[in-house]
């Protein structure tokens, strides 16, 4: 069984925020490329992993339908909050860097 994976507007906004943050810190053209690579890795990993095994990842908060996917990247990574909304659909709700305090 495969799940449809959608990004909520809040998750899209988080990806834009993370991309802008990486661009602001970029010092070389390689850093610019790495910013795009990070966002592409988040999208691809979320799409691939959540489409196949959304129930495998750690529960978030008290709602068992909300879970978190850890996405390794470089020396740290990202955390994606998602919700299993039906037997065939997963919605990515938010994305943050692992070193951020919480979802924005």
What CATH number is attached to the domain comprising 23?
A: 3.30.2310.20
In this structure, is residue 17 part of a structural domain? Answer: yes
Average pLDDT, the chain: 93
Q: C-alpha distances in angstroms, 19 versus 1, 33, 38, 42, 69?
A: 32, 11, 8, 11, 19
Local confidence pLDDT in tens for the 104 residues of the chain: 799 999 999 999 999 999 999 999 999 999 999 999 999 999 999 999 999 999 999 999 788 899 999 999 988 899 999 999 999 999 999 999 988 877 65
Q: CA 55 to CA 38: how far, in whole Å?
A: 24
On whether residue 102 sits in a domain, the answer given is no
pLDDT recorded at residue 103: 67
| pLDDT in the model for residue 101 | 73
What's the CA angle centered on 85, arms 73 and 47, to 5 degrees? 30
In a domain, 72, yes or no: yes
Domain-embedded: residue 91: yes
Structure pTM?
0.91
**Is 103 part of any domain?**
no
Per the structure, the count of domains in the chain is 1
Question: Which range of residues forms the domain containing residue 74?
Answer: 4-97
Separation between Cα atoms, residue 45 and residue 2, nearest integer Å: 15
What are the tokens at 79?
């955390």
Distance, in Å, from the CA atom of 91 to the CA atom of 100, rounded to the nearest integer, reads 21
pLDDT digits (tens, 9 = 90+) for 43-72: 999 999 999 999 999 999 788 899 999 999
Residue 104 lies in a domain: no
Answer whether residue 8 is part of any domain: yes
Tell me, yes or no, whether 46 lies in a domain. yes
């Amino acid at each position: 069984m495969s799940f449809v994976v959608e990004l909520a507007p809040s998750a899209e906004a988080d990806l834009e925020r993370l991309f802008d943050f990486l661009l602001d810190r970029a010092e070389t053209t390689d850093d610019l490329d790495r910013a795009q690579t990070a966002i592409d890795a988040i999208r691809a990993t979320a799409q691939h992993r959540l489409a196949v095994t959304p129930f495998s990842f750690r529960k978030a908060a008290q709602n068992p339908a909300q879970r978190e996917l850890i996405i390794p990247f470089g020396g740290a990574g990202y955390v994606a909050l998602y919700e299993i909304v039906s037997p065939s659909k997963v919605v990515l709700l938010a994305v943050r860097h692992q070193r951020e305090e919480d979802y924005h």
